[in-house]
Structure 1
């Protein structure tokens, strides 16, 4: 293969090929997150065909979401050490293979391994590297770029939800999975768009430039192999320490805990919205319409919140906008058990979809504000890794609650309170940080008072020096070049 060229830039270009990166990330979110959401449309089909309960069937969606997020750091490692292009293309091949093999499934365990593990691993190699590339190409318009890129999840859900339902009716669930396997091969095309860029802060330090350098005559300086290996290992350790030093920051720790509770609450809705709608008397097509509505309003949330938080008046309050969006989604959950007709479920889908798109857009932005651009890929890998366990356990727990109580109320209330707690935790941490900062500023002023000067004509009297005099006589400080009168 021809050696890949890297685009050099002292700072993010905020345009140019960056818009192609946004387009590529947009397609990646369609092929990963939108397809994952549409797996819930197969829920009733799988449950009926394999004669299993809610909890067992919910593991399919849980495993694919969990593996996608659990292996997100692996996606970052592949993109950092090989290339973003290679990682996304490999992920597309794995995801497509998983769907194709799933179309021949004879049990739920088969679906766990194919759709869950294999497809989830492919999505993991694609998702976080594509998002990190957008952060490298944009700085001033970062939120808007992320809003457009992440809107692929909503647009994909809006288009794919009725299409998948139609495919199931025409070709059965096996044929629909086979067609989805061909569709996600478009991830290979998305990977080809991800042209690498080298920013000023990405250049390697001097410790990596000593051995084997090229001389002016074209030859390379020899180096002793064990010494070179030791230096390489030491350089690798230092690079990893620099790359993951954000793990020691208190702000990132609070964000990580908040993400755990947020991820627990957001996942079950995309599994149980269609079954819940069917349980209250909504038809299959109308239930798919609810998913489409949620998806299209998700787009509005992605783009409008991205554009609004790029405005000068809101740029400083992106974290506040994020926690407000998460909290409002939690409130929507609390109201859902009282909504039992299609005219009431449609406004719910609109509201939940809007704020879901809002906070999904702001996750990379808030992470970048904490860790910076250089470590963004690794930090996003960790953030999405933290989604893994909640994504794995929350749908089966919700399914167990439905099987036990015979109602969706307990499951939805638990998810709502989890998201509200996530928002309150992050808000409380910001409040404490601001109070501590104010207190430290006040103590700094108290411990280091500056002497106040009064000027009377051409003579300046220093109060601090006056108090230091034993005899109490004021001391006049002469201004150079002036005579005292």
Structure 2
């Protein structure tokens, strides 16, 4: 798209150019008697395309619109539907694979024990390490998403997960499982898990809670589909055949990644429309902007590239009338290869990236976010919740069996818990996305953890299958809601711009909780001879997590009030580049 700069009475457009030289560029003004390119010259096959990558950073530029002036601080718009629901489908399928493999650890434990005949404690380590490693790799997975893309990260994870299954099939001894099953599979799961949650926040705002709930509900589906299917495979095809088939299932993660269309590609597909009327386009002459050298922290627009391919205009809501984009200062002279360069360009694009060039460089570990008290307390709260949650799901079958119920009853109670886990994820998204409840989302989210604590304290007192089933259904629904909405709450606390970096740190705290919870509960079992104390400890962890969430909400409220009190309306610069 090309925008008018200066227009005379005849309708010609004048564009300030930097002269064309072989070795360097210099600014040369237009003259009034220089002929322009008429609209008739554009008849037939007009072939231009504006390409700015994925909305290239327009450094210190300001976009104005006669109808709707956008503030520089306004966050980029998101689709909030449309193709985003296919992204949710990809997230759902990713959770089916990762969640199903995660819940398969109990089945794998029995097979490893029968095949290698090691002690129970040693045999449990590969399954414990793979879950912990998946979470500890959160910052790495988030950094890979930031530096490359969500799609690329998911593909890498699927390949590694597939390789791990193949190596498991031909493992020569038990200790090789620490490499193939624990290390490789943990990396593969981690690189598939984090992107599936990050991309939801990229595509959704108003319906983010519902989208997150639908996507993460794949864990429950994976549990009820893959776990019995895996046991069937072991019974039918044996150890090697099962893991080869599981490798094929893991490879489907690459197909899942294809649904993760980059947001920039989505916007280009939805915003561009071929120009069929040459009256929409008026230019003075063919221009190709040469790409200038990267200017680091320079405060002026350095380059935007025009490719002679196609002319397109946007008909989406975010597109405005062709208006002005003005740099804040003159473009300095510099060495450059042959080409034409604009010292002043006026064009319209939706605001997405503003700020200094180089400000969007990615950080591998953004530990500076932990200086925010609200975020730090939220992370610790999630860590405590995970410790109690992991211990509870580890010992619920044992607790049921200790009430003089059968192993099948214990498995059924756990299955009921999983069913309501899925329902809780979906329903919580619907509830927390209601317009009346969205402003109070953090408060409602905080109430979930206190409800879970109450259930944890009640469970040891129940004796019958019916009462245990009812209470475990509440436990599953509440924990499912709490887990599925953590990425949504994270955006409420830090904003979408910090989603990738902050989510990785959050998962790290989850990993620490996963490591600490079951061993502490197991120590109480050894000390007191029962499982009741493990659930009491879990209830205490939940109460402490809820108190930290209250403190986090208080700090966040104070921070937001201070921000609003110091915020001033942004002023649009009136000076154009010379």
1:239 partnered with 2:361: yes
Identify the residue that residue 250 of structure 2 maps to in structure 1.
Answer: 184
Any idea what SS the aligned residue of 2:297 has? helix
State the 1:57 CA deviation: 4.0
Q: How many residues align?
A: 425
**Superposed counterparts of 1:163-312, under 5 Å:** 163-171=229-237, 175-198=241-264, 207=297, 213=303, 222=335, 239-240=361-362, 244=366, 246-277=369-400, 286-312=409-435
Residues 242 and 392 of structure 1: is their aligned pair in 2 closer, same or farther, counting only changes over 3 Å?
closer
State the 1:101 CA deviation: 2.2
Residues 113 and 32 of structure 1: is their aligned pair in 2 closer, same or farther, counting only changes over 3 Å?
same
Q: Specify every segment of 5 or more residues in structure 1 that has no aligned partner in the other structure, as ranges.
A: 225-233, 445-485
On the 8 A contact 2:374/2:551 being kept in 1, the answer is no
Greater Cα offset, 205-214 or 251-260: 205-214
Question: RMSD over aligned Cα, in angstroms?
Answer: 3.8
Greater Cα offset, 104-113 or 294-303: 104-113
Any idea what SS the aligned residue of 1:297 has? helix
1:141 partnered with 2:202: no
Identify the residue that residue 351 of structure 2 maps to in structure 1.
Answer: none
Q: Distance in 2 between matches of 1:129 and 1:424?
A: 30
Q: Specify every segment of 5 or more residues in structure 2 that has no aligned partner in the other structure, as ranges.
A: 1-50, 57-74, 268-293, 309-332, 338-355, 566-578
Structure with greater helix percent: 1
Out of 516, 531, 538, the residue aligned to residue 415 of structure 1 is: 538
Q: Distance in 2 between matches of 1:422 and 1:333?
A: 14
Residues 216 and 377 of structure 1: is their aligned pair in 2 closer, same or farther, counting only changes over 3 Å?
closer
Identify the residue that residue 354 of structure 1 maps to in structure 2.
Answer: 477
1:129 partnered with 2:129: no
Identify the residue that residue 343 of structure 1 maps to in structure 2.
Answer: 466
**Structure-2-length-normalised TM-score:** 0.64
**Superposed counterparts of 1:72-83, under 5 Å:** 72-83=138-149
1:65 partnered with 2:187: no
1:88-144 Cα distance to aligned partner (Å, 9 max, x none): 011011112223323444655433332222111111111112211111111111111
State the 1:235 CA deviation: 6.7
Q: Distance in 2 between matches of 1:196 and 1:188?
A: 15
Identify the residue that residue 219 of structure 2 maps to in structure 1.
Answer: 153
State the 1:291 CA deviation: 3.5
State the 1:70 CA deviation: 0.8
State the 1:16 CA deviation: 1.5
1:38-79 Cα distance to aligned partner (Å, 9 max, x none): 313444554565555664444333211211111111111212
Any idea what SS the aligned residue of 2:361 has? helix
State the 1:339 CA deviation: 4.2
